[in-house]
Structure 1
Amino acid sequence: MSFLDKQLGGLFMVGLPGTELDDSTRDLINRYGINNFILFKRNAENPEQIRTLCQGLADACRAAGLGAPLISIDQEGGTVARLKGPDFTEFPDARALAESEQGEELLADYARTCARELLAVGINMNLAPVLDVSPAGLGLFMERRSLGGTPEQVARLGALVITTMQENGLAACAKHFPGLGGATLDPHKVLPVVDRSLEELRGCDLVPFGAAIRAGVAGVMTSHTVYPQLDSEFPATLSPRILGGVLREELGYDGMVVTDDLEMGAIENEGTVADAALTSFLSGADMLLICQEHAKIIAAYELLSRAVGGEISEERVRRSLERIGGVRSRFAGE
């Protein structure tokens, strides 16, 4: 096993089955060097249990000679909040906060509260805010989760949430690049198409992501959506034109790119998770998110491992690990 093989697990962020550190997850840590995790409702009973689980993950990573884990969750508020009351503060959807008279004040309070409550239980990354620009009343999938229907509002409020969250020690992740605001279909189930013109994409959808990059956002999450004006063949998660061309080159982002869950229907209906992981990495993603089945995580790891030194250069792996390591050193204490 080469030096890089031992580090390859650092490119993955994975889910675990229950409320305790199980043998399968331990195996992912010890055998494959995986040290980034995502928590869901299935992993959370109460603050003490979550704290014990996160500490167990950190201890297991340390014992395996790995860096401190990035431990993430989707705590957007409203319809997408994995941690609920009475132990955690419940917020309305982002749209409701953004459109209230005290929108900025309420969103800053949301960001500070997330930082305090998540860090207290050992979670160091929130997969938020949503930066999709989604006009109201059109039946769009992201409307309630969006910060607004204009790029200026989403950019301003998104940057406020990112800055406040990160100033309080919690990594933020802007999603879903290059913008899921025009989608009517749910990528958890099927592959959406957002057929906005290049002018609309550049003048609307990309604007909040540019603001997030200027605000120093820790991560950008990709969208499992086809944008025919940017790439008629591949969804953003699998598209070198979108991740390499638009995000890296046009917007100048050199930070950590995280895929949305590669087990979602939009991806898995079209092929295997392992193939998607390889294609996404080759397209410019750094962190590969696989939320459920550990067998699929191992298959993806093994496919990437076989590609290193061939399709994937060692330098490319090192660069992604450096980007992830930068977030780890900022927010995970190592």
Structure 2
Amino acid sequence: MTTDDIATTAEIARLARGTLLPSFPGATAPRWLLDELEAGLGGVTLFALVGNVPSQESLAALTAQMRKAGDPFVTIDEEGGDVTRLGGHATGSPYPGNAALGAVDDPELTRRVYRSLGAELAEVGVNLNFAPSVDVNTADDNPVIGTRSFGSDPELVARHGAAAVTGTQEAGVAACAKHFPGHGSTVEDSHLSIPLVDADLELLDRRELVPFRAAIAAGARAVMTGHLDLPAITGGVPATLSHAAITGLLRERLGYRGVIVTDALDMAGASGAIGIPEASVRALIAGADLLCLGSHEHAETVAATLDAIGEAVRTGRLSPGRLADAARRTARLREWLAGHAPAAVDRAAGLEAARRAVRVFGALPGWAGAPLVVETESTGNIAVGPTPWGLHPWAPDAVRADGAGAAYGAGGTVAGILDRAKGRGLVVVLRDAHRHAGQRALATALLTARPDTVVVEMGLPVWRPGSAVYLATYGAAAANAQAAAELLGLAPTG
């Protein structure tokens, strides 16, 4: 091997390393990660479920530790609402999610909420946020988007997506519009399979692509690809690995010039059949600039992926120019980040948005005392995770029951609930009841015996019992719950 060969190999390794966003467990950076950062690692993706965010103070210390070793992109999924990592995974987010903001339909308020959320991220050293979701949620039974979307109307999603991008970036944090070319029309979860989006280019142009165009026009510094099969465009290949989707559609048709980052490559929709190293190579060939590896992809995955990229260059599958192109884009993003000052945190914007989002159908009863609150069991999707939700912080004797009325505590059966509710009001809290037959059955049983039962829907208000007094919050964040609790007289206003 000649000196030139060694220099070329080292340069390829440096360029390849600069595309990677691995993860790590715990609240301190392990030695291998610090070594990789010193060698030019692109950055990291933080995940609450692997212990990266026990508190905002510890996160600030962690990001400071990493920046002593390199100049990483510190990325996170902080959408507000149901998908929250910045402390909200333990307590619920103080900011409502996109469905609530879309229900209010005040783009300036959306901008305020995202600017404040961005300010909180900047305070702890996060500089690239994987938000907003600009998916147009046209499938009611979508298992992974739902309240993460501003709505089902492309123009509404576009104006709020643009406002979210603007607000985030006013706080000095790069926004990342996702999940290109749009995850809202499918009933499959790309964590588990490759969802099919049955849309030709004409339909994409007037539906899915409308918000991406708006986000790009608003100056979005990053766009995230989705692991979605669009047969008319990608021919059976997920968009993340498709040159036609990334280079043809996003770069050439939409004219996007910023950084393209993949959704997590550990998801089955990307790597289920081929593995993460090969998925990484294919994503780079397709035109991606940064590779989010996944929540449990650490030193071993980094080493294997670097080997795979190096081999792809040696065999001619991947050109060094493609890696250099990615490096130029990420360098421009770092320059942009260095030139922005953070904004002020404005949590009042979150509660204002949650209060304005609530829709009340029927006249709320004037209870003499506190009502009995019944909270149904609702499994969150993989993206949401086990974030706390519900009205129990304001209802100490709340009953937890699954859709069949099975007890989570004393009095959890339908008969037991009715017995405990004698002489007092009754509230049943649902979450995406249209997706859970058991929730609908429980609510119906309670309403049959107690027509004065108040129904609170904390997901999408698709299913609504016709005779009930009904509240729709458009999300299950802490801010949404407080807004509902205030209207029900469980929490003081002010």
The TM-score, its normalising length taken from structure 1, stands at 0.92
Indicate whether 1:36 and 2:39 are aligned. no
Query: Map of 1:18-29 to 2, 5 A cutoff?
Result: 18-29=26-37
Are residue 283 (structure 1) and residue 286 (structure 2) matched?
yes
**How big is the shift at 1:87?**
9.0
Alignment-mate amino acid for residue 43 of structure 1: N
Cα distance in 2 for partners of 1:293, 1:94 equals: 29
- Return 200-209 or 324-333, whichever deviates more: 324-333
Task: Describe how 1:204-243 pairs up with structure 2 within 5 A.
Answer: 204-243=207-246
Q: Does 1:307 align with 2:312?
A: yes
1:19 and 1:53 in contact (8 A); partners too: yes
* 1:254 counterpart residue number: 257
**How far apart are residue 207 of structure 1 and its match?**
1.0
**How far does the alpha carbon of each residue in 1:246-300 deviate from its partner, in whole angstroms, 9 at most, with x for none?**
1111111121110000001212322110110001100111111112222122211
Q: Kindly report which structure 2 residues correspond to 1:91-130, keeping only aligned pairs within 5 A, or say none.
A: 91-100=95-104, 103-130=106-133
Cα shift at 1:330: 0.9
Instruction: Give the share of equivalent positions with the same residue, in percent.
Output: 37
Q: Distance in 1 between matches of 2:327 and 2:75?
A: 17
- The equivalent of 1:49 in structure 2 is 58
Q: Which residue of 2 aligns with 1:160?
A: 163
Q: Is the 8 A contact 1:93 1:145 kept in 2?
A: yes
- Comparing 103-112 with 316-325, greater Cα deviation is found at 103-112
Partner residue of 1:2? 10
In 2: Cα distance, 1:26 partner to 1:285 partner: 24
The match for 1:322 is 328
- Does the alignment pair 1:59 with 2:68? yes
Aligned equivalent of 2:151: 148
Aligned residue identity for 1:262: L
Q: Unpaired segments of 5 or more residues in structure 2?
A: 1-8, 341-494
Q: Which runs of 5+ in 1 are unaligned?
A: 62-67
- Tell me how far apart the structure 2 counterparts of residues 170 and 257 of structure 1 sit (CA, whole Å): 16
Choose 113-122 or 21-30, whichever is displaced more: 21-30
Bigger drift between 19-28 and 272-281 goes to: 19-28
What SS does structure 2 have at the residue aligned with 1:220?
A: strand
Change (3 A) 1:56 1:72: same
Greater Rg by CA: 2
Runs of 4+ residues deviating >3 angstroms: 85-89, 136-141
RMSD over equivalenced CA pairs, Å: 2.0
Aligned pairs for 1:72-87 (under 5 A) are: 72-85=75-88
Does the CA contact (< 8 Å) of 2:116 and 2:171 recur in 1? no
Count of matched residue pairs? 326
Q: How far apart, CA to CA, are the structure 2 residues paired with 1:169 and 1:253?
A: 20
C-alpha displacement at 1:121, in angstroms? 0.7
User: How far 1:305 sits from its partner (Å)?
Assistant: 1.7
With 9-18 and 234-243 compared, the bigger mean Cα shift is at 9-18
Q: Is the contact between residue 75 and residue 126 of structure 2 (CA under 8 Å) also seen in structure 1?
A: yes
The alignment partner of 1:221 has SS state of strand
- Alpha carbons 1:69, 1:332 under 8 Å: kept: no
Q: Secondary structure at the match of 2:79?
A: strand
Which letter maps to 1:331?
Answer: L
1:297 is the counterpart of 2:302: yes
Q: Any conservation in 2 of the 1:37–1:70 contact (CA below 8 Å)?
A: yes
Query: What residue in structure 2 maps to residue 64 of structure 1?
Result: none
Matched, 1:13 2:21: yes
Q: Is the 8 A contact 1:70 1:332 kept in 2?
A: no
**Partner Cα separation in structure 2 for residue 70 and residue 90 of structure 1:** 25
Structure 1 stretch displaced more, 311-320 or 43-52: 311-320
Paired residue type of 2:233: L
CA displacement, residues 49-70 of structure 1 (integer Å, 9 cap, x when unaligned): 1111001111011xxxxxx211
8 A Cα contact 2:165 2:175, kept in partner: yes
- Does the 8 A contact of 1:38 with 1:71 survive in 2? yes
**Partner Cα separation in structure 1 for residue 18 and residue 62 of structure 2:** 19
For each residue in 1:198-257, what CA deviation from the matched residue of structure 2 results, as whole angstroms up to 9, or x when unmatched?
Answer: 321111101111111111111010010101111222010011111111111111112111
Q: Is the CA contact (8 Å cut-off) linking 2:265 and 2:276 kept in structure 1?
A: yes
Distance (whole Å) between structure 1 residues aligned to residue 17 and residue 142 of structure 2: 40
How far does residue 139 in structure 1 lie from its aligned partner after superposition?
4.5
Q: Say which SS state the counterpart of residue 232 (structure 2) adopts.
A: coil
| Cα contact 2:178–2:225 (8 A) shared by 1 | yes
Q: Which whole-Å CA distance do the structure 2 matches of 1:253 and 1:242 have between them?
A: 12
Contact 2:121-2:127 within 8 A present in 1 as well: yes
- Asked if 1 retains the 8 angstrom alpha-carbon contact of 2:226 and 2:263, the reply is yes
User: Separation in 2 of the partners of 1:139 and 1:23?
Assistant: 40
1:91 alignment partner AA: Y
Instruction: State the AA in 2 paired with 1:36.
Output: G
CA distance in structure 1 between the partners assigned to 2:43 and 2:339 by the alignment: 14
Classify 1:140/1:327 alpha carbon distance in 2 versus 1 (closer, same or farther; 3 Å).
same
For the 8 Å contact 1:89–1:113, the answer to whether it is kept is no
Match of 1:65 in 2: none
Q: Is the 8 A contact 2:241 2:270 kept in 1?
A: no
Contact 1:155/1:209 (CA < 8 Å) preserved in 2?
yes
